[in-house]
A = this chain, B = another copy of it.
Amino acid sequence: MLALYTYWRSSASYRARIALNLKGLEYEARPVHILKGEQKAADYHAVNPQHRVPALVHDGRVLTQSLAIIEYLDEQFPQPALLPKDSLGRARVRSLSLIPACEIQPLQNSGTGVHMQAALGLSAEQIAAWRVHWNTLGLQAYEDHLVADRETGRFSHGDTPTMADCFLVPQCYAARRLGIDIDNKYPTIARIEAACAKLEAFQRAHPDQQPDRA
């Protein structure tokens, strides 16, 4: 039995939802309302003392961190594969995934914004500009990789979706909310985002399709 603690707008939850859908796995969605602070409630603390989403429950065991969750799903449910078979390809897919995971999302998520306001007294405009900066830098790096590498195909790596696309699409969602012009600035990313949007696995994982959408 699979259950996912998720928040509709959390990009890390969105990544895990895409992977579950690509694998064709049924799961119980357990919404945690981040902006209302439900992640700090006692019942969720018992699930994940780090108070972050997503958390995956598989046969009673709790797993955290979206990248670790997706790698686990790929090991437990190998088809369709979300990582290539060759070691260099796997390294490339992980490396691409880590651009949103390490270089964009941590710097622009809601918890970081809250702390920027509370501890540093920064304005909403300053925080928005900060978020745009890291999205721009990271998406440009991702675009540069896509353009430079011949492994780029219909998707980030080859012609089927991989873990990298599970990370890219939610980051595009966040970047578009910030007003970043992905279509004109990052044409390869925009092309791959559009290819993903045609797949039901990505459609059903979209924030707007979640039961806890505000």
Interface residues of A (CB under 8 A from B): 49-50, 61, 63-65, 67-69, 71-72, 75-76, 87-88, 90-92, 94-95, 98-99, 101-103, 105-107, 112, 115, 119-120, 122, 126, 129-130, 133, 141, 144-145, 148
- Nearest first, the 10 A-B pairs at minimum CB distance are A68-B94, A68-B95, A72-B91, A65-B95, A65-B98, A75-B87, A106-B106, A50-B141, A68-B91, A49-B144
Complex CA distance for A115 and B88, rounded to whole angstroms:
33
* Residue among B65, B72, B75 making CB contact with A102, cutoff 8 Å: B65
Complex CA distance for A68 and B167, rounded to whole angstroms:
15
Give every chain B residue within 8 A of A141 (Cβ-Cβ).
49-50
B50 engages A72 (CB within 8 Å): no
CB distance from A152 to the nearest CB of B (A): 14
Complex CA distance for A90 and B70, rounded to whole angstroms:
12
